[in-house]
Amino acid sequence: STGLALKTKDVVNITFVRANGDKIKTSGKVGDSLLDVVVNNNVDLDGFGACEGTLTCSTCHLIFKTSDFEKLPDKPGDEELDMLDLAYELTDTSRLGCQITLSKDMEGLEVHVPSTINDARAA
Amino acid sequence: MQKVLGRIQAQVLRSRATNALANVVRHEATSSRTAAKPAATSKEFRERQVRFNIKNEQTEGRPLYLDAQATTPMDPRVLDAMLPYLTNFYGNPHSRTHAYGWETESAVEKAREQVATLIGADPKEIIFTSGATESNNIAVKGVARFYGTKKRHVITTQTEHKCVLDSCRALENEGFKVTYLPVLANGLIDLQQLEETITSETSLVSIMTVNNEIGVRQPVDEIGKLCRSRRVFFHTDAAQAVGKVPLDVNAMNIDLMSISGHKIYGPKGVGALYVRRRPRVRLEPIQSGGGQERGLRSGTVPAPLAVGLGAAAELSLREMDYDKKWVDFLSNRLLDRISSALPHVIRNGDAKATYNGCLNLSFAYVEGESLLMALKDVALSSGSACTSASLEPSYVLRAIGTDEDLAHSSIRFGIGRFTTVEEVDYTADKCIKHVERLREMSPLWEMVQEGIDLKTIQWSQH
């Protein structure tokens, strides 16, 4: 029973909001990236995570609420910023999902998925 | 007055000075000259005609080249580097699926590194463009527009290159506020004034490193330090400076830098823009497309040209000291020769904070265009190639407060890596000879010789 308690404690609930307003409720474990959450739960987001987290595509572009964005522990690195510069619908609170690691205090996090993605590898 | 005299001479030439016409001419000459001197007789006139005639002076062949600010000849070593990519290695550097793409890509990346090394940057911070004009456009418009929601002020100077000024004008049409800083009489900006002009609204300061017309070198390291401390981005148009004076983007706190290929003995049609990654400079790209060059400049990179720019950058870094000594030597030689033989020669721009390869001289009482015509066997310019189609005096010279008559009499001597001593000597001798000849024809010069201060004369509107 302690195992189960530990398990529920590690689970973080996440909501992806599509551009049309549809909400996809799902969950991931502490330590997973937001890209892992999408892949593990087969979340239906077209083209999401094309480069599998190698920072070469910008398809896992996600838009955070300002308050959530400011709480994120790490600032985006140069490589991530390079990719974000190529993303469509870039905002001041944009991040790449593959670079965001889930922690317990992210419980209930809501992130917006832009309506279009740009696979930067297809030059 | 000079013009009137010229017209008279032309008439004489045409009519072969038949007696009747000569009389008319003599009459005109007396009426147009207010000085008490008697008019020249037709005999004297003909003698002067012979003396001033330069009709048969033209030598065969092409003129020698002394316009290194307009463009430079391509170094043969640059062509050597480029040739394989113009022939056998023709792949698209962005092709990821075959060897043709890979080999070209690695050549382009090597070139990127060569350009980066020249200015102390990281290769990832270099994007290839079509030239400094495009780089300036991307930098000025791109930064201003990206940060335009919060900051709507841009600072530049009155002596910038036309493409920076025009980009700023475009921004003004979009509602941005632009400050065009004046320059001091030596062509340098006043740092104090720059500091006072920066506000919390300012997103970008754009000041060129070396001026293309008067060769003045702005204190970019101090400007960079100031901009960094005020958290304003600093862009510098270094087209005339890169590869000729040592530049380091980190030591000088430069956030964006424009580079041109054909000013550093590289190919025409290629340039580069340095965009700092840390602290990150973001900009809105002008050109949309496949997202090449970090998405800042879409479009296939012209691999042979990029390779040429890289080779030119490496050469100019390796030979910077050598080139500097040579250019300084020739420039001083030219200046010494001319100024020791001719009085009333004014050097435009600061004599110390300058790049010596660009020597801008005003020959008082001589019209610049006439001198250029006389020096047909020397390829020179009265200013920037971009504006030399118009006879308007240069806005750069006007900005440094040059009198209109002196601004009209300026010549820019552009000395480069391949200029020879013989060329400089020839130019100096020719220049001295023709300035003397033109001054002798000039009534203004005559008046100055007589001790009349031309500024006190009330010229009547005819």
Q: Do B280 and A81 touch (CB under 8 A)?
A: yes
List of chain A residues whose C-beta atoms are within 8 Å of the C-beta of residue B290: 122-123
Nearest to B294 among A82, A121, A122 (CB): A82
Query: What pLDDT band is residue A43 in, cutting at 50, 70 and 90?
Result: very high
What is the mean predicted confidence (pLDDT) over B24-32? 43
Contact status of B73 with chain A (Cβ, < 8 Å): no
Query: What pLDDT band is residue B273 in, cutting at 50, 70 and 90?
Result: very high
Q: Give the tokens for residue B57.
A: 């002076």
Quote the CATH superfamily of domain B49-72+320-446.
Aspartate Aminotransferase, domain 1 (3.90.1150.10)
pLDDT on residue B23: 41
The whole-angstrom distance between B375's CA and the closest CA on chain A is 51
pLDDT on residue B393: 79
Distance, CA of A79 to CA of A87 (rounded, Å)? 13
List of chain B residues whose C-beta atoms are within 8 Å of the C-beta of residue A81: 277, 280
Q: Which CATH architecture has domain B76-316?
A: 3-Layer(aba) Sandwich (3.40)
Whether B223 has a pLDDT exceeding 60, the answer reads yes
Give A96's contacts (C-beta < 8 A, 6+ positions apart): A55, A58, A60, A61, A62, A76, A80, A83, A84
pLDDT on residue B14: 44
pLDDT on residue B21: 40
State the span(s) of chain B assigned CATH 3.90.1150.10: 49-72+320-446
B378-394 in b/e form (b: 16+ CB < 10 A) is bbbbbbbeebbeeeebb
ipTM of the shown complex: 0.77
State the span(s) of chain B assigned CATH 3.40.640.10: 76-316
Q: What is the pLDDT of residues B50-96, one digit of tens each?
A: 777 777 776 778 999 999 999 999 999 999 999 999 999 999 999 99
Q: State the alpha helices, DSSP H only, in chain A.
A: 2-10, 34-40, 66-71, 78-86
pLDDT on residue B377: 92
pLDDT on residue B1: 47
Lowest mean pLDDT among B203-207, B334-338, B403-407: B403-407
**For residue B279, is the peptide bond before it cis, meaning its omega torsion is within 30 degrees of 0?**
yes
- Please choose, from the candidates A120, A69, A74, the residue with its C-alpha nearest in 3D space to the C-alpha of residue A94: A69
pLDDT on residue B402: 85
Phi, psi of A74, rounded to the nearest 5 degrees: -105, 145
- Residue A120 pairs in a beta bridge with none
Q: What is the pLDDT of residues A74-118, one digit of tens each?
A: 999 989 998 998 888 889 899 999 999 999 999 999 999 999 888
pLDDT on residue B167: 97
Name the one residue in this structure whose structure tokens are 């900006």.
B189
pLDDT on residue B20: 42
Strands in chain A per DSSP E: 11-17, 23-29, 61-63, 94-96, 109-112
B268-299 in b/e form (b: 16+ CB < 10 A) is bebbbbbbbeeeebebebebeeebbbbbbbee
Contact predicate B198/B229, CB 8 Å? no
pLDDT on residue B33: 46
pLDDT on residue A3: 52
Q: Do A81 and B277 touch (CB under 8 A)?
A: yes
Give B212's contacts (C-beta < 8 A, 6+ positions apart): B69, B161, B239, B240, B358, B384
pLDDT on residue B368: 85
Q: Give the tokens for residue A111.
A: 């992130």
Q: Is B168 noted as a catalytic residue in this protein?
A: no
pLDDT on residue B13: 43
pLDDT on residue A4: 54
Q: Element (H or E) spanning B406, and its range?
A: helix B404-407
In the set B163, B358, B386, B431, the catalytic residue is B386
